Amino acid sequence: MAPILKISDLHKHFGPLEVLRGISLDVDPGQVVALVGASGSGKTTLLRCVNALEDYHKGSISLGDEQIGYQELNGRRVRLPESRVARQRADLGMVFQSYNLFPHMTVLDNVALGLVYVQKKSRAEAERIALSWIERVGLAEKVKSYPFQLSGGQQQRVAIARAVAMQPKVMLFDEVTSALDPELIGEVLAVMQNLARGGQTMLVVSHEMMFVREVAHRVVFMDGGVIVEQGPPEEVLVRPRTERLQTFLTRFRGVLR
């Protein structure tokens, strides 16, 4: 099976600081790939590069057979015009740590927005689709609420609905439970688990090791801007081969045993 997402030899630096030093990663359709690692290891930057929210300096990212964010022109790598990038982003869904729901729109409008303005669906059709996703994340009674009237967990579920309603080829999750109170984490993870079971391709940055172990098909451990180790969760999380991963996992010992 051909990978849906293909990252090859990705390099990025912020000034003198090298954050990504040659990342190559393939994600197959229907696969859930979890990126784990200490903060500063480059996981979030990698995810943001995939959605062209960050520039990078070398390498390539392809969704299907289309390169994201750049094109080759006379042997040089050139950034695509913003309108082309915008169209590409429509095939990728992203959920942020800080939810980022549009504050001036109701839950329904947040979810329907992309369907109307990007996918050019009629208002009625868009609202029907939006409503069905809002129901699936368990917030049917909140459709007319504004983001500030919701808890963090509820906002994050709306943010997930907003992204998946577009039926993206790949969903990107950037530490989506890190800003949540502990008692609200479960409801968000449950929604993600349902998506994974439904066959949604997902690239997930997470510190929730129980969730990663249960849901991910593959765990990728990053450290210092490189992939140190990867494989099925039962191997990577339970029998780490490298010392760096062993050290990283000691802090999750209570959770994983």
User: Which one of residues 37, 42, 59, 114 is an interface residue with another protein (CB under 8 A)?
Assistant: 114
Contact with another protein (CB under 8 A) among 8, 67, 98, 194: 98
**Closest residue by Cα to residue 209 from 148, 159, 253:** 253
Residue span 146-185 as binding mask against another protein, x where in contact by CB under 8 A, dash where not: xxx----------x--xx--x-------------------
Residue 33 neighbours by CB distance under 10 Å: 20
Instruction: Check residue 169 and report its DSSP letter.
Output: S
| Among 25, 94, 108, 126, contact with another protein (rule: CB under 8 A) | 94
Q: Which of 2, 16, 74, 82 binds another protein (CB under 8 A)?
A: 82
Q: Which is nearer to another protein, 174 or 229 (CB)?
A: 174
The answer to whether residue 125 forms part of the interface with another protein (CB under 8 A) is: no
d(CA 96, CA 235) in angstroms, rounded, equals: 28
In the region spanning residues 41 to 70, those forming contacts with another protein, defined by CB under 8 A, are 51-53
Residue of the chain from 38, 80, 90, 255 that contacts another protein (CB under 8 A) = 90
165 neighbors 136 (Cβ within 8 angstroms):
no
The three-state secondary structure class of 118 is: coil
**Tokens read off for 153:** 């967990």
Cα–Cα–Cα angle for 42, 198, 94, rounded to 5 degrees: 35
DSSP letter at 81 equals: P
Nearest to another protein of 38, 53 (CB atom): 53
Count of alpha carbons within 13 angstroms of residue 132, beta-carbon side = 10
Residues in touch with another protein (CB under 8 A): 51-53, 82-83, 86-87, 89-94, 96, 98, 100-104, 113-114, 117-118, 146-148, 159, 162-163, 166
